[in-house]
Amino acid sequence: MIVRGENMEVYIELTYLVNFMLILLAVEMMAILLNKELSYRIVLKHSFYLSSVIFLLYFDYYGWLILFIWAIIFVFLYHKQVFLYYPVFIFVYFSLVYFCSSIIKDAFIYNGILITPIDAGAIGLLIVSMFTVLMQILFIIYLKRKVRINEYLYDLEIMYQNHKYLIKGFLDSGNEVYYQGFPLILINQDIIGKYQAIDVINLDDLRNDEIEVIKLDYLLVNHQKLQDIYAGMIANIQYDCLLNKVLMGGIL
């Protein structure tokens, strides 16, 4: 293959393998950065689809084509979330490509693909391989952590002022907030737009926040309906709702 005005021997298999590893790493890092749960099987499948751009090695003067092809693949894979996933993937992928091209001897980027010559330095390839293995370990740990978190997530149905809301509730062992002796669940303020507070209490924690208290008509969780539940409206929490372990202890 003649590139950059030089004769260079390149194994297409090696080039495909290296770029598949980079795409795999980019997809995994994308999932971690966006805090999305993608199974390892889905990550491998999506990486295989995205690595089809290897055929761009045979086209000249179309460096932008890889972005167009990947945009189409991302629309097919992620649909309406393409504007969330695609920019992150592109940023991570090209960061990895430029990093690898700087540590692998005589490697360079062609049409968005990392070209690795046969006589590439063993040290550079070893570093890339070790980084790939390390990333696989971190991604597996990330997936296991997501699975553990999901074990504490419950589908909830709440009724407030004749309006029904279907949300996710996280069983928070650290939620020990009470209102007039009753355990209090905490709901993200963005879930219920307009509400009428019946009281205001202070959170006895490091934030020292004030939260407004409302009274729900009912809370449905695990096919059990709890009537007249007090809820605190709070901002800046990760989940829709933080359940109280005392309140949930009898039905979970």
From first to last of its 252 residues, what are the pLDDT tens digits of the chain?
434 445 556 667 777 888 888 999 999 989 888 878 778 888 889 999 998 887 777 766 666 788 888 899 999 988 888 888 999 999 999 998 888 888 877 777 777 888 877 666 667 777 778 888 888 888 888 777 766 656 667 778 888 888 888 878 777 666 677 888 788 888 888 788 788 888 888 766 545 567 888 888 888 877 788 888 888 888 777 778 888 777 665 544
**Spatial CA neighbour of 213 closest among 225, 229, 227:** 229
Mark whether 123 and 136 lie in a shared domain: yes
Mark whether 86 and 38 lie in a shared domain: yes
DSSP class of 36: -
CB 75, CB 82: distance < 8 Å: yes
Mark whether 171 and 60 lie in a shared domain: no
Amino acid at 189: Q
Mark whether 146 and 157 lie in a shared domain: no
Mark whether 119 and 201 lie in a shared domain: no
The range of the structural domain enclosing residue 32 comes to 2-150
Q: What is the number of structural domains in the chain?
A: 2
Mark whether 101 and 131 lie in a shared domain: yes
Mark whether 179 and 126 lie in a shared domain: no
Mark whether 33 and 143 lie in a shared domain: yes
Mark whether 122 and 165 lie in a shared domain: no
CB 178, CB 184: distance < 8 Å: yes
Mark whether 88 and 160 lie in a shared domain: no
DSSP class of 106: T
CATH number, domain of 199, equals: 2.40.70.10
**Residue at which a domain ends, from 150, 173, 202:** 150
Residue 147 tokens, joined? 């699975």
Mark whether 145 and 157 lie in a shared domain: no
Cα dihedral 152/155/157/158 (nearest 10): 30
Residues listed for the chain: 252
